Structure 1
Amino acid sequence: MKTLYKNTISLYLIGVCCMLIFATSCKKEKEGQGAPSITRVRTLVRPGDTNVTPLDSTVTSGDVGVTYVIEGVNLKSTNKVEFNGASAYLNTALFSDNSIIVMIPTTATWINQTGKLTLTNSYGSTSFSFSIKQPAPVISDLSQFAGNPGDVITITGLRFDQVSSVKFGTTEARVVSSTSTELKVTVPTGALGAVSVTTPGGTGTGPYVSYDGVVVPILLPFGFRHLFYDDQITAGYDFNFGGADADVNNTEMVKRGNHSIKLTYTGSYAGYAVGSNTPVDLIDKTYVKFSIYGTTGTEGKVVKVALGDFDNRNVSVVLHAGKWTNYVVPIDRFQSASQPGKPTSVNWIGFQELSGNAPETIYLDDIGVY
């Protein structure tokens, strides 16, 4: 009797366990079954932040490259998520039956968009109203970084769609033509300062350049507060030493206008400078600006740029072959232990060959301070 009783209890327990396992198995099998449905899209809580923040909120539009949470039902078996037709990368480890985490792909377009988020699994698909925000514009280059009123210059970059404003400093410019990556604008009277482009995505300024490829890129402003060389040496003089030959009326390779300086270093470490007969006050100036075109063999070579002192007030810049490169260097970087502090005035700006690379030819244009 005792044996029979124990066997009965054992069989009962085994049956209960089987029922629990079967029930759990059925629940797992049912997860993700059925057509998906979206109830909302929200942003993620900042990692490590235990407080409720504005980031954890319902949104109806989003930015490319940003991660969002899609909430709904039957989401665990999702095999495709599309934002305006662009497929997002799916990490199933971030899926549950009621939420999935995805990043809007950088290929998702905000131009002529459908405004639809589409989610698909093996049982069907669903769409949800969700638009892509236009990112802020980016300015990568200007065809010239100085000019006369009425000159038409080209601004290149990204996301110029639906441009509403272009400014030089605080002065509005007239847009002649526009595409997503290029603007042609007329230089306004009084153009001076950072160039900015405004679209529905925001406002972008630029371009930013690094004079040696190492320093953090610096905003390159438009215009000059004093020019040492434009199409000619401006009210001043020039000099050379150690085997430098300068043609100040060169027409072979010109950045802007009709002339540039063709500078040929026939001796290594030779130098050349353009100056002003009257010292130029630097108290209200911020940058030294100039353009250099490097010929074949100059890529990666170094030129020392000096403010009235080749030994103590100089900065080294890196050349690039086959193109005009615009340089901007903060004036307060022209100092040494022997000559500390930002220079308050300058008579000349010099360029010395520093790589021992002679013979070497470069072209100079638009030399001045801002």
Structure 2
Amino acid sequence: MKNIKIILGLVFLTISSIGFISCEGDDSGPATVDGPPVINRVTLAINDSTTTVGLRENMYRIYGENLATTKEIYFNDTKSYFNPTLVTNTTILVSIPKETPYFDASDELKVVTSEGVAVIDFPIEQPAPEIDSFSPVAAGAGEIVTIVGSIFEGLESVRFGETEAVIVSSTSTEIQVEVPEGIVQSYIFVETLGGVTQSEQAFGFKFVIYDDALKEGWWVGGWDGSEDFENTEQVKRGDFSIKRIYNGGYSGFQIGNGGAPLPISDYSAVKVSIYGEQNVGNLRFSINALNEQELGVILQVEEGQWNDFEISLDDPALIGENELEVFSQIVIQELSGNSNVIIYIDDLGLI
């Protein structure tokens, strides 16, 4: 019996020792706060890697001492919610609030406990800009486009595709830029100190007539020539362009709207790109069969390159004294009198 008691006593002591060692390394139990809080470092919660800057709406782990009685946590003087069950004497798990300022702020992380306050330098990174909308959705070179959104501080550049635009003015919620030359259709990119954001909607035509394919419902006419709407020899953008061969002098390429009416008042101009391949002189661009009245804008096409044209719909050379209500057709006529003239047409539409 005496031996059994000795053995049971040894077992009890062993279990007690194991329990003591386990509790000593477990910070989740009752904590002893020995003084004011201390912040040693901050890590990303996702991988526990040390960081010296924060990003809004991300979760972080604060390492330190005497943190068990934490009452409040501030990032750049913005109070952050935290779950008390995720606080121990040496760690706090907390997320940076969405409304935390990042520009002209204190750049401080502050932990307030019942025993004092701990503060360290901890700037908040500027998030990437957010683009809500832009207007107009299409415009000519040099015209002003207004971009509306947020987090535009520290603006570095605005690009239409890969082409940088001239910034006219900017605030934290609005940017005005000039449309660069040669822009037909592209996404808008806003770059700040916080990163780069692409617009969801592409900037470009209000109505596309040809962009790799002729608009559904449009018909093809013309005289003394032929057209290939899926040409790949010379392409401005995309996969195809229109190859037009003028077999005789003064022949014409013609396409027309067979779909829903297009009110002239909804548009300001026609944009088109033309590549001069062979024997090209001047071309006459006319609309709505007004070429019968000797109306039309003369296009001077340089051979061996893409030529971008923007023809105003209120140009007297195009419409004369006519008051047009709808846009119905286009004629591009060869004026040099040469035969076997070859051009390519791409990115044709209304803005």
Preserved contact between residue 236 and residue 276 of structure 1 (Cα < 8 Å): no
Preserved contact between residue 66 and residue 89 of structure 2 (Cα < 8 Å): yes
1:283-323: per-residue Cα shift (whole Å, max 9, x none)?
Answer: xxxxxxxxxxxxxxxxxxxxxxxxxxxxxxxxxxxxxxxxx
Q: State the 1:137 CA deviation.
A: 0.9
Q: Give 1:96's aligned residue.
A: 88
Distance in structure 2 (CA, Å) of the matches to 1:28 and 1:228: 72
Q: Give 1:228's aligned residue.
A: 209
Distance in structure 2 (CA, Å) of the matches to 1:109 and 1:276: 57
Q: State the 1:157 CA deviation.
A: 1.3
Q: State the 1:65 CA deviation.
A: 0.4
Q: Give 2:188's aligned residue.
A: 195
- Counterpart check, 1:42 vs 2:43: yes
- Counterpart check, 1:125 vs 2:117: yes
Q: State the 1:101 CA deviation.
A: 0.3
Preserved contact between residue 33 and residue 77 of structure 1 (Cα < 8 Å): no
Distance in structure 1 (CA, Å) of the matches to 2:29 and 2:48: 29
How does the TM-score come out when normalised to structure 2?
A: 0.54
Q: Match for 2:180: what amino acid?
A: P
Q: Give 1:324's aligned residue.
A: none
Q: Return closer, same or farther for 1:249/1:82 CA change in 2, 3 Å cut-off.
A: same
Q: State the 1:228 CA deviation.
A: 3.2
Q: Give 1:248's aligned residue.
A: 263
Q: State the 1:145 CA deviation.
A: 2.3
Q: Give 1:180's aligned residue.
A: 172
Q: Return closer, same or farther for 1:136/1:276 CA change in 2, 3 Å cut-off.
A: farther
How does the TM-score come out when normalised to structure 1?
A: 0.51
Q: Return closer, same or farther for 1:60/1:68 CA change in 2, 3 Å cut-off.
A: same
Regions of 4+ moved over 6 Å:
none
Give the percent of matched residue pairs that are identical in Structure 1 and Structure 2. 33
Unmatched runs of 5 consecutive residues or more in structure 1: 1-8, 46-54, 209-219, 260-274, 278-365
Preserved contact between residue 155 and residue 183 of structure 1 (Cα < 8 Å): yes
Preserved contact between residue 178 and residue 184 of structure 1 (Cα < 8 Å): yes
Q: Match for 1:39: what amino acid?
A: N
Aligned residues: 212
Q: Which of 146, 156, 164 is 2:148 aligned to?
A: 156
Q: Return closer, same or farther for 1:86/1:44 CA change in 2, 3 Å cut-off.
A: same
Q: Match for 2:60: what amino acid?
A: Y
Distance in structure 1 (CA, Å) of the matches to 2:269 and 2:204: 18
Q: Give 1:106's aligned residue.
A: 98
Q: Which of 57, 60, 64 is 2:56 aligned to?
A: 64
Give 3-state SS (helix, strand or coil) of 2:93's partner.
Answer: strand
Unmatched runs of 5 consecutive residues or more in structure 2: 1-8, 211-217, 219-253, 271-286, 290-348
Preserved contact between residue 48 and residue 61 of structure 2 (Cα < 8 Å): no
Q: Match for 1:201: what amino acid?
A: G
1:193-224: per-residue Cα shift (whole Å, max 9, x none)?
Answer: 11101001010001x2xxxxxxxxxxx22224
Give 3-state SS (helix, strand or coil) of 1:93's partner.
Answer: helix
Q: Return closer, same or farther for 1:239/1:118 CA change in 2, 3 Å cut-off.
A: same
- Counterpart check, 1:238 vs 2:257: yes
CA RMSD of aligned residues (A): 3.5
